[in-house]
Amino acid sequence: MTKKWWHDKVAYQIYPKSFYDSNGDGIGDIPGIISKLDYLQELGVDMIWLSPCYSSPLADQGYDISDYYNIDPRFGTMEDMERLIAEAKKRDMYILMDLVVNHCSDEHEWFRKACEDPDGEYGDFFYLREKDGEKLPTNWRSYFGGPVWDDLPGTNRQYLHVFHKKQPDLNWENPKLREEVYKNINWWLEKGLAGFRIDAIINIKKALPFRDYAPDRSDGLCSINTMLKDAEGIGTFLGEMRDRTFSVYDAFSVGEVFNEKPEVIPDFIGDGGYFSTMFDFNEAIFGQSGKGWYDAEPITPEDYKNCCFASQKKVGDIGFLSNIIENHDEPRGVSRYIPEGDCCKESKKMLAALNFMLRGLPFIYQGQELGMENIPFSSIDEVDDISSLDEYQVALDAGLSPEDALKAVARFSRDNARTPMQWSDAAHAGFTTGKPWLRVNPNYLSINAASQLEDPDSVFHFYQKLIRLRKDPVYKETIVYGTLEPAFREQHNLMAYYRRGDKTLLVIGNYQSGKQAVTLPLPYTKVLLNNYADITREGSTILLHGYQVLILEM
Ligand code: GLC
Ligand code: CA
């Protein structure tokens, strides 16, 4: 595997709307991000991925772009963006933007022109089909519920949207559209961006010609994934995009890729692959059900460990995965991966270490470094996210009571991760002086950055230590490039692995509240990290405390 400039970095995802509001309108913004760069530098991260802040009606919170060359005024100005890139550079930090090119907004100029003249140049930027009475062109269900087809206003056509109806899919089969995409990527890279996170990219290749598939719910529709499984040749688009954009700038790219088959991994993230890296969603998709969120199976510590190890094995040293415990589309990792009732400082630190020390590029989602948790919902009226609202309806349609439907949604809602960042115990968690656009988690009085910065034993400082360890010249080679070998696999509720490079490290986490003994085959020479003050030992046996995690040099 060829070494790359970004391999030893630590990435941090910002959801701009909820990060920090500089002007009191209740919406986080770019000047707010700039004012928090020192905080991020103190944490130690060096690559920052911004969820979209382009012009947008915000139907899907910015993942519906109406102008790829502008910043939405709610987030700031282009000058603010340029200042952010420059201020980051001063701190040896890199800015990544979100590349959302499977679809645009229905308020984008291209879509307006397509409505005006569906047979003209811009009609071909989208997937349009002639209306045929009540019959839809295909029976695919959009990710956010309902059919993927809607009427193209003012015409006798329908357009395809695999996400929300305000997110019409762009027609990648059209070389003119692809040129527009590449032009835009290069325009941003010229501005000094280090690269992109690439949204929903697996959807750009549709199975052609369009056809129906067997319905999988009583609505008579089928999952988009069924169609995607049938689509071949995405590599042609992805390879062209790489050659025309990222490769030219040695830019970083991380793909949002789901359900990839093991045999495509070398093409996707091997040497010269389509992307620098891609996210590992193995834990996030565990237990998913075709029926909806209400039917999803919870994940146990054993499942979590097996998911992580399976991904590591699948990728091996072919490339680099990007490891996450959460993002803006997922509930908070500590609420999801730590058994109910056990969420505490120790268990949060254990999860942090187990995830962070995996081979790959670690991503931290805003607030994760504080151990932010899911928000309690008392009514569906408190939910903003379109995906959660759809899943609530799906649960009701399946016969769940409103209380149970709310519970199902609360467990997975994307809003859990989108509540404002908890900066302090001041009003609205110090996120804004105005009224926050989304409710603040009431636990901000006990979980917030200001108090954690003062407490050397906080989750924040534990993340800081993990980051320092990754960057420590003595251990860096091993942590970044070393192999990963699972250890003590047969021991229940214990997740442990060796990282072997020029050093040998053992990461070991007791994934339960009760104590657990582990007998080491070799003595350790040094304790690099411990989330407790002590280690209880008897000869070569360590008696781990509940949720104790250790990083040992062997
Ligand atoms: C990705 C984004 C998600 C968005 C969707 C459509 O999955 O992460 O937030 O809703 O794509 O753009
Ligand atoms: Ca603002």
Domains present along the chain, CATH in parentheses? 11-101+176-383+414-462 (3.20.20.80), 109-160 (3.90.400.10), 384-412 (no CATH), 481-553 (2.60.40.1180)
Element of type H or E holding 315: helix 301-315
- CA of 483 relative to ligand 2 center, distance in Å: 44
Paired tokens of 333: 């990792």
- pLDDT of residue 261 exceeding 90, the answer is no
Closest alpha carbon to 14 in 34, 35, 33 = 33
Instruction: Evaluate whether 65 touches 82 at the Cβ level (below 8 Å).
Output: no
147 band by pLDDT with thresholds 50, 70 and 90: very high
What is the value of pTM for the model shown? 0.98
Among the bound ligands, the one closest to the CA of 329: 1
Helix/strand/coil for 3? coil
- CA of 51 relative to ligand 2 center, distance in Å: 15
Mutate to test the pocket of ligand 1, among 199, 228, 279, 281 (most ligand atoms within 8 A of CB): 199
Q: What integer pLDDT is reported at residue 260 of this predicted model?
A: 87
Q: Which residues line ligand 1 (CB under 6 A)?
A: 60, 63, 100, 163, 199-200, 256, 328-329
Instruction: Evaluate whether 432 touches 32 at the Cβ level (below 8 Å).
Output: no
102 Cα nearest atom in ligand 1: 12
Mutate to test the pocket of ligand 1, among 163, 365, 413, 418 (most ligand atoms within 8 A of CB): 163
Give rounded-to-5 percent helix, strand, coil for the chain: 35, 20, 45
| Identity of the amino acid at 174 | N
pLDDT digits (tens, 9 = 90+) for 438-465: 999 999 999 999 999 999 999 999 999 9
Among the bound ligands, the one closest to the CA of 104: 1
Mutate to test the pocket of ligand 1, among 14, 63, 225 (most ligand atoms within 8 A of CB): 63
312 band by pLDDT with thresholds 50, 70 and 90: very high
Average pLDDT of the chain to the nearest whole number = 97
Q: What integer pLDDT is reported at residue 1 of this predicted model?
A: 84
**Dist CA 15 CA 27 (whole Å):** 11
- pLDDT of residue 220 exceeding 90, the answer is yes
Nearest CA to ligand 1 atom 11: 200
127 band by pLDDT with thresholds 50, 70 and 90: very high
Averaged pLDDT, 233-258: 97
pLDDT digits (tens, 9 = 90+) for 41-90: 999 999 999 999 999 999 999 999 999 999 999 999 999 999 999 999 99
Regarding beta strands 541-544 and 536-538, do their DSSP bridges make them parallel or antiparallel, or are they unpaired? antiparallel
Q: What integer pLDDT is reported at residue 514 of this predicted model?
A: 98
**Dist CA 288 CA 323 (whole Å):** 19
- CA of 415 relative to ligand 2 center, distance in Å: 19
163 Cα nearest atom in ligand 1: 6
Among the bound ligands, the one closest to the CA of 258: 1
Q: Any idea which residues carry the catalytic annotation? A: 199, 256
Helix/strand/coil for 318? coil
- CA of 438 relative to ligand 2 center, distance in Å: 13
Nearest CA to ligand 1 atom 12: 63
Nearest CA to ligand 1 atom 6: 63
241 band by pLDDT with thresholds 50, 70 and 90: very high
**Dist CA 311 CA 302 (whole Å):** 14
Averaged pLDDT, 303-314: 98
Averaged pLDDT, 286-312: 97
Question: Looking at per-residue confidence, does 2 or 266 come out higher?
Answer: 266
pLDDT digits (tens, 9 = 90+) for 178-219: 999 999 999 999 999 999 999 999 999 999 999 999 999 999
